[in-house]
Structure 1
């Protein structure tokens, strides 16, 4: 089938299967951490703080990571980040297994994972093009990678919900530690023809400056990065409040929380499967606008949903909008940036995407503390719709200035 065409490449297939298992473990742990912190503290602010420390390193380190990755063997860097991630997961699993419920230590280990991810995510994204022989299949590979990530977002929380309510949090953390074994095995089986990179004459700081000038000087790339930055700061962090929606708004349990995560994951898979069927990158701008509008509107409706099934339906639509928006922007940047600048261009995407979410997590935590979770999600949806309108007006203005009508 054409939708799975990039799986014909051996390296991408190994990467795809290994990451699938690892990401299920990651979502099991993420669900368990959020539930554990809120169960122990009952604090929306601490819930936001955990999200903050796990992603804030991407804001600070991603541009440096992009320059470093452009200078070195990306495959070896990816191996190192996966090994260190496994060690971090093992430390967290040991902490919970021996029931040492130390919130500062959990926050510290979340920060360590965030530092690792600043390099790991940028490396994985920039290495994607090396796994696909025919570059026309790159958008399909990116979309399938997103599909895999979001299937894990369905399966991981669903498994976590069962384990949390039946066996306890420690099973989720140990499961995540074990899930790194297959991804490391698959990485070692890959045979990538990585071009040997000569030691560059310029310092890494000069290359950082060049990367910024390249991205800021390209109106298409910079507008897409600004759009994902606004979404990550004000809209995407609504997820931080889902334990509160599950436990307090709808008087549910850990399993109810897993339903919210799985509903968003189901929507994300639908969005990713649609993008995987695209034959070209031409409609990515248009998809970004439509997806952003769906995302903002679904959050407005979610904020006022009074029954759980209705809330889960709108949560699914939020997943469709969020997935299509982030994946379309990611694919656009990878297919429109020059090879020499790809790592740095992707690093600015990672900085705007993952780096802004932690600040947004704190903001929405404060908003929920002061005005309630429903109003906080409502505000997030409204900002998403306003940002979509402004982005559409800007894109039309840029397109007209170039002498053609933006579609």
Structure 2
């Protein structure tokens, strides 16, 4: 069965299906803008993680800075998702883009001025996180507004290709800048790349989204009980969200990989940037081939990719050489992105339209919002024991979660 599914990914029909969303001009323009903003964001994340180390921080400090960025998503996810159900996605994204530009500019100014401290990084990460909490569900639903339901799986997968293209370009740019100049220039890049997104948002031709008043009355946007009931009461959705928490921990290499670079391999910022590039290079084909699957993702595929994700993380954790770690992180990138693309589309397309924004708010709580908890746990374990042991624990917990969710994710299609 597995080999039949794999073979089906390489048929002409499957490969054509991968690019359906790119036939729409507005989606192509939006994709280019997202590639640029994602590149700046990835460069900024590399710079922030490395600055924590340079400022004398440890694994707990790395986890804390990451936690500050994701805390608003964890706390506010479904509530902000309710607002996205009610209001224009374009308006929400314009506000969040401007807010993130201001945060990036502040980081650049403080770093250039030589006055940046870890608590400032944490505070600005929290400010960025508030904007990101609204940005994430609005961005996903804007894509559906642009391409329509029939091209949604292609769009979600292509979006992962774009995100991970930025995970190649961003760390590569950050690695060069960290070697030849200063981390502040990463923040300058991140400030400037929001301009194309704002321009494209202002020029998109979108049909107005009319809220379902009855649904909103039954499940008020600021309380969202309908979303919680649906997620908890639907075993496949509940299990997918649990696995998304595991994927967030696997994905969040910024907490543990810098410590592995320094403590295990005695490397520097360039080595860390190169490992992040390896992760992104692996993620590109993973996201691309996720788009070759059927328009409606299968729940059994979600669980299969989650199992592969656990195995790849454990392999990376036990790597005894840098070349082996490069290969391992590329494998992690491939299977994590394959999982995220298919699981994201599965949750979105199996959710009723009136509560889709709130459910995607729950998805954002799980991935990446849960890194508030997982980042602190993994960072603390890495500091108390060994960073490789901490990353191995992520893979083991993921494998146990897959086993617990196996029956709930048995495909009925």
TM-score by length of 2: 0.91
Aligned to 2:143: 128
Cα displacement string for residues 10-42 of structure 1 (whole angstroms, at most 9, x for unaligned residues): 221121111110110001100000011112114
Gaps of 5+ in 2: 1-14
Residue of structure 2 aligned with 1:222, choices 233, 238, 254: 238
Report the CA distance between 1:244 and its aligned residue: 1.1
Return the alpha-carbon distance in structure 1 between the equivalents of residues 59 and 396 of structure 2.
21
Aligned to 1:175: 189
Asked if structure 2 preserves the Cα contact closer than 8 Å seen for 1:237 and 1:364, the reply is no
Cα displacement string for residues 56-108 of structure 1 (whole angstroms, at most 9, x for unaligned residues): 11110111111111111121111111111111111111111222122211110
Asked if structure 2 preserves the Cα contact closer than 8 Å seen for 1:88 and 1:113, the reply is yes
Aligned to 1:186: 200
Residue of structure 1 aligned with 2:357, choices 321, 339, 343: 343
Residue of structure 2 aligned with 1:166, choices 165, 180, 185: 180
Aligned to 1:369: 383
Q: Which moved more, 1:28-37 or 1:181-190?
A: 181-190
Residue of structure 2 aligned with 1:106, choices 121, 143, 159: 121
- Cα pair distance change 1:164/1:238, threshold 3 Å: closer
Matched length: 396
Asked if structure 1 preserves the Cα contact closer than 8 Å seen for 2:309 and 2:335, the reply is yes
Aligned to 2:100: 85
Aligned to 2:60: 45
- Cα pair distance change 1:140/1:122, threshold 3 Å: same
Q: Which moved more, 1:107-116 or 1:198-207?
A: 198-207
Report the CA distance between 1:333 and its aligned residue: 1.0
3-state SS, counterpart of residue 55 of structure 2: helix
Report the CA distance between 1:5 and its aligned residue: 2.3
Return the alpha-carbon distance in structure 1 between the equivalents of residues 57 and 87 of structure 2.
45
Asked if structure 2 preserves the Cα contact closer than 8 Å seen for 1:238 and 1:364, the reply is no
Equivalent runs, 1:133-144 vs 2, <5 Å: 133=148, 135-144=149-158
Cα displacement string for residues 254-291 of structure 1 (whole angstroms, at most 9, x for unaligned residues): 11001111111111111100012223224x32322222
Asked if structure 2 preserves the Cα contact closer than 8 Å seen for 1:58 and 1:351, the reply is yes
Report the CA distance between 1:226 and its aligned residue: 2.2
Residue of structure 1 aligned with 2:267, choices 234, 252, 269: 252
- Cα pair distance change 1:224/1:172, threshold 3 Å: same
Report the CA distance between 1:198 and its aligned residue: 7.5
Cα displacement string for residues 192-250 of structure 1 (whole angstroms, at most 9, x for unaligned residues): 11234487656836751122122222222222112213443x54445411111222211
TM-score by length of 1: 0.92
Aligned to 1:150: 164
Return the alpha-carbon distance in structure 2 between the equivalents of residues 258 and 276 of structure 1.
28
- RMSD across aligned C-alpha pairs, in angstroms? 1.9
Equivalent runs, 1:2-401 vs 2, <5 Å: 2=16, 3-133=18-148, 135-197=149-211, 201=217, 204=220, 208-232=224-248, 235-282=250-297, 284-396=298-410
Return the alpha-carbon distance in structure 2 between the equivalents of residues 380 and 202 of structure 1.
39
3-state SS, counterpart of residue 225 of structure 2: helix
Asked if structure 2 preserves the Cα contact closer than 8 Å seen for 1:63 and 1:344, the reply is yes
Return the alpha-carbon distance in structure 2 between the equivalents of residues 162 and 21 of structure 1.
17
3-state SS, counterpart of residue 395 of structure 2: helix
Return the alpha-carbon distance in structure 2 between the equivalents of residues 358 and 77 of structure 1.
23
Asked if structure 2 preserves the Cα contact closer than 8 Å seen for 1:300 and 1:382, the reply is yes
Report the CA distance between 1:295 and its aligned residue: 1.5
Asked if structure 1 preserves the Cα contact closer than 8 Å seen for 2:310 and 2:399, the reply is yes
